[in-house]
Structure 1
């Protein structure tokens, strides 16, 4: 845990991203709730934090240590923030491979409007948008950050044992928050 890292956890027992509950329309929109909770970071720091420095992440069923759904609210790694800023004009409203991946792993990226995120939520956007995702949600880790203009960037990484990738999307975060230095 870093000084500004927070976790959003539902009070209901939901194991993780693989739970069918996360795809139900009546389930809370956990990514939207976690984004609303980012103010705790600024409150603790004592000053505003640029949304582009903040990320949310959930690890895959295979890349986590606990069997309770939780979303990490933390800072982006500086190199990841820089890389995403370089590509920001390339993100579309459909899932596409992120050119060059991140941190040696293949990622998918998708732009989402605030309205889309509120209506469908990140989990359903992945399940509906990437072929085979609905049946293998537990193999995915997901992350989210803000884009200029009010849109969001959703990232998804799929487990790939050949690449020693357990789909821990938390890898893009820096819990020491060097990006704020």
Structure 2
């Protein structure tokens, strides 16, 4: 059996095991979609405001809209959710030219995170994360917006100078996982497509996007605002859950000056 076939078989078995073990926890994998589609968008279209969402941007219409919703988990965690039906990172719609600007809107929601915390945070303390197809609870694309875990901030502060525009495996782990990393020159992610960079830059990723997770961590490189992109692949040993790089208790908000 070839390596590619073995890898696919292992991933399939892992996905099946995860699905069986988490079936009870995923009573309604469409909950986010129902909230955005059935409540937030109709409320905005009727002129009633975005509730229960915090914000809904329909500038490009529902097809390119993005809603920001406070997650039930965490002090300040926000979710950026397309108002179009998109299942997750594996959905090919996210690699099309008309993909909704989820990452840009997600980064724009950091003010909502800071408002919940009652203080501004350094750029490096905010991160975005999307989990793999087999390490998530919802079947509507969503980006987690929240504080970065302090150990991750410390490692990236030392490692950032080694990064460039090419994906490479890091030589040190983050939260026990070895991530692929690269820098991306952007102030707010409105001018780049992180998922396309993953699909085109990591060998085999485009054909198996559902197996990958992706994070974008704020950074200041060469004296200007940038981002560090981090990618990890689901396996039998774990991974594919970039949300692990975040801290939903936001300890950095209590320790940063």
TM-score range, shorter chain: over 0.9
Q: Report the TM-score when normalising by structure 1.
A: 0.94
1:41-120 superposed matches below 5 A: 41-114=113-186, 117-120=189-192
Alpha carbon RMSD of aligned pairs, Å?
Answer: 1.4
C-alpha spacing 1:102/1:87, structure 2 compared with 1 (3 Å): same
TM-score (norm. length: structure 2)? 0.67
Unaligned runs of 5+ in 1: none
Match of 2:50 in 1: none
CA distance change for structure 1 residues 125 and 176 in 2, over 3 Å: closer, same or farther?
same
Alignment partner for residue 156 of structure 1, among 217, 227, 231?
231
Cα separation, 2, equivalents of 1:134 and 1:144: 18
Aligned length: 179
C-alpha separation between the residues in 2 aligned to 1:44 and 1:175?
Answer: 12
Name the SS for the 1:9 alignment partner.
strand
Contact 1:16-1:69 within 8 A present in 2 as well: yes
Q: Which runs of 5+ in 2 are unaligned?
A: 1-72
Would you say the 8 A contact 2:80–2:143 is kept in 1? yes
**Pair member with larger Rg:** 2
Are 1:10 and 2:82 an aligned pair? yes
Provide the rounded CA distance (Å) in 2 between the counterparts of 1:147 and 1:12: 30
Alpha-carbon distance in 2 for matches of 1:88, 1:180: 22
Question: Aligned partners of 2:122, 2:87: CA distance in 1, in Å?
Answer: 31
Q: Deviations over 1:80-137 (max 9, x none)?
A: 1101111010111010111122122121001001179433411001011111111111
Residues 51 and 115 (structure 1 numbering): CA distance in 2 closer, same or farther, change over 3 Å?
closer
- 1:32-47 alignment, distance < 5 Å: 32-47=104-119
Deviates more, 1:61-70 or 1:28-37: 28-37
Task: Report 1 or 2 for greater relative contact order, CA contacts < 8 Å, sequence distance ≥ 6.
Answer: 1
List 4+ stretches of structure 1 deviating above 6 A: none
What is residue 122 of structure 1 aligned with on the other side? 194
In 1, the alpha carbon distance for the partners of 2:251 and 2:117 equals 13
Q: Distance in 2 between matches of 1:88 and 1:102?
A: 13
In 2, are the aligned partners of 1:62 and 1:166 still within 8 Å (CA)?
A: no
